[in-house]
């Protein structure tokens, strides 16, 4: 049985891993700023955290989906 690409795992190359780390750091910095400016736990802050987590997930998934970021694939010549 062949696994549908939607459900397969992908190993990222160094460029892909670097992009993921940059994205994760940016989301971390944003959440840190929000928590600094709006201390405490409110319903709105909980929603902000959930939405940032969701946005981070899709940003990392976007990196994963670009073949150029995958190990052994996506050799791109840039002119």
Give the per-residue pLDDT at 79.
46
For helices 14-37 and 43-65, angle between their N-to-C axes, nearest 10 degrees: 170
In a domain, 3, yes or no: no
pTM of the model: 0.81
pLDDT tens readout for residues 20-74: 999 999 999 999 999 999 998 999 999 999 999 999 999 999 999 999 999 987 5
In a domain, 44, yes or no: yes
User: Which domain, by its residues, includes 40?
Assistant: 12-69
In a domain, 47, yes or no: yes
In a domain, 39, yes or no: yes
Question: How many domains would you assign to the chain?
Answer: 1
| Cβ atoms within 10 Å of 63's Cβ, excluding its own | 20
In a domain, 78, yes or no: no
In a domain, 74, yes or no: no
Give the per-residue pLDDT at 74.
59
DSSP state of 72: T
Reported confidence tier of residue 9, pLDDT bands at 50, 70, 90: confident
In a domain, 17, yes or no: yes
Distance CA 71, CA 66 (A): 11
Token match 């994963």: residue?
Answer: 64
Contact predicate 70/16, CB 8 Å: yes
Largest Cα span, the chain: 52
């Amino acid at each position: 049985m062949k696994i549908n690409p939607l459900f397969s795992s992908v190993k990222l190359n160094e460029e892909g891993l670097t992009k993921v780390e940059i994205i994760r750091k940016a989301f971390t910095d944003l959440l840190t700023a929000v928590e600094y400016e709006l201390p405490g736990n409110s319903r709105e802050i909980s929603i902000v955290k959930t939405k940032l987590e969701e946005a981070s997930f899709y940003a990392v998934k976007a990196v994963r989906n670009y073949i150029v970021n995958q190990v052994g694939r996506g050799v791109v010549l840039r002119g």
